[in-house]
A = this chain, B = another copy of it.
Amino acid sequence: VSLSQPQYQLVFYSLVVAGLALFAQFVKTWVSAGEVSSRYRPALYASMCICGVAFLSYVFLALKFDSGYQLSGGQYVPTAESVNSYLPRYMDWSVTVPLLMVEALAVSTLTGGRARQTRLVAMSAAFLMIFTGYLGAGVIGNGTSSSAMLLWGIISTVFFALLYVVLLGVLRASHEGMSPVAYLGYRNAVFLLLLVWVWYPIAYGIHNWTSGGTATTIIQVGFCAADIAAKAGFGAMIHKVAKVRTADDM
């Protein structure tokens, strides 16, 4: 679909701002990793990987978006290339959402076998949620079949629901073993993540049932805002939990 000039400018702005914010969070996490004891350090490593991967992905998205539209008659008209200007997000998510699970679990109170098992379940469910969503959005029926999108969207939502159950379970299990300050921070971080996640299936639905420049703009700007919150914002909150727990452990 074609975009008006304001719509195009808004989307391009969001893509670049999100990429730069993720880069900033990457740098911040890297240089301050020493604040946290080695026990919680894996959460920061995961966050660095997430922000680094997402930054690369935004560089690619912004370049694709830039070259995928041509200004003609006052409208930005997509070239053949740009039908795929939003599918690369799924490739980013396939790596980053499983890593978000590593990050979320690394500051919990789970240890040993229980921690490993929960992590495996959460990472697998996260990957399968994204991969099945990708099958619906871009593979089966070329991403233009409403019924395929609905079917695979529902399958994806099963994993989505499973992740809510797992993360809320981890939160409950961590209540006892953490100081109130640490728990409050952890609860807020997990709630933020689960709240922001709601946007992704909504965007998938908007993409499926409507089209047009306004819908495209809302979806793209929304993804950028959600990614900043779920990757950089969540990362900052988990960092703080790791710092509080480091101090509590002394």
Chain A residues near B (Cβ < 8 Å): 5-6, 9-10, 13, 16-17, 20-21, 23-25, 27-28, 30-33, 35, 38, 41-42, 45-46, 48-50, 52-53, 56-57, 71, 80, 87-88, 90-92, 94-95, 99, 134, 138-140, 142-143
A87 to chain B: closest residue by CB: B9
- Give 21 CB contacts A-B under 8 Å: A9-B139, A9-B143, A10-B139, A13-B94, A13-B139, A16-B88, A16-B91, A17-B94, A20-B57, A20-B94, A20-B95, A23-B53, A24-B52, A24-B53, A24-B99, A27-B48, A27-B52, A30-B31, A31-B45, A32-B41, A32-B42
- Complex CA gap A71/B25 in Å reads 38
Distance between A79 CB and nearest chain B CB, rounded to angstroms: 11
Question: What are the nearest 4 A-B pairs in CB distance?
Answer: A24-B49, A16-B91, A20-B95, A6-B139
Q: Is the CB of A20 within 8 A of B56?
A: yes
Q: In the assembled complex, which residues on chain B have CB atoms less than 8 Å from the CB atom of A13?
A: 87, 90-91, 94, 134, 138-139
Picked from B5, B24, B25, B95, the residue with its CB within 8 Å of the CB of A24 is: B95
A72 to chain B: closest residue by CB: B80
Q: Is the CB of A48 within 8 A of B31?
A: yes
Q: Is the CB of A20 within 8 A of B92?
A: yes
A33 to chain B: closest residue by CB: B31
Q: In the assembled complex, which residues on chain B have CB atoms less than 8 Å from the CB atom of A87?
A: 9, 13
Q: Is the CB of B71 within 8 A of A80?
A: yes
Q: Is the CB of B138 within 8 A of A53?
A: no
Q: Is the CB of B23 within 8 A of A52?
A: yes
- Complex CA gap A92/B21 in Å reads 9
- Complex CA gap A94/B225 in Å reads 13
Q: In the assembled complex, which residues on chain B have CB atoms less than 8 Å from the CB atom of A42?
A: 32
A7 to chain B: closest residue by CB: B139
Q: In the assembled complex, which residues on chain B have CB atoms less than 8 Å from the CB atom of A6?
A: 139-140, 142
Distance between A60 CB and nearest chain B CB, rounded to angstroms: 8
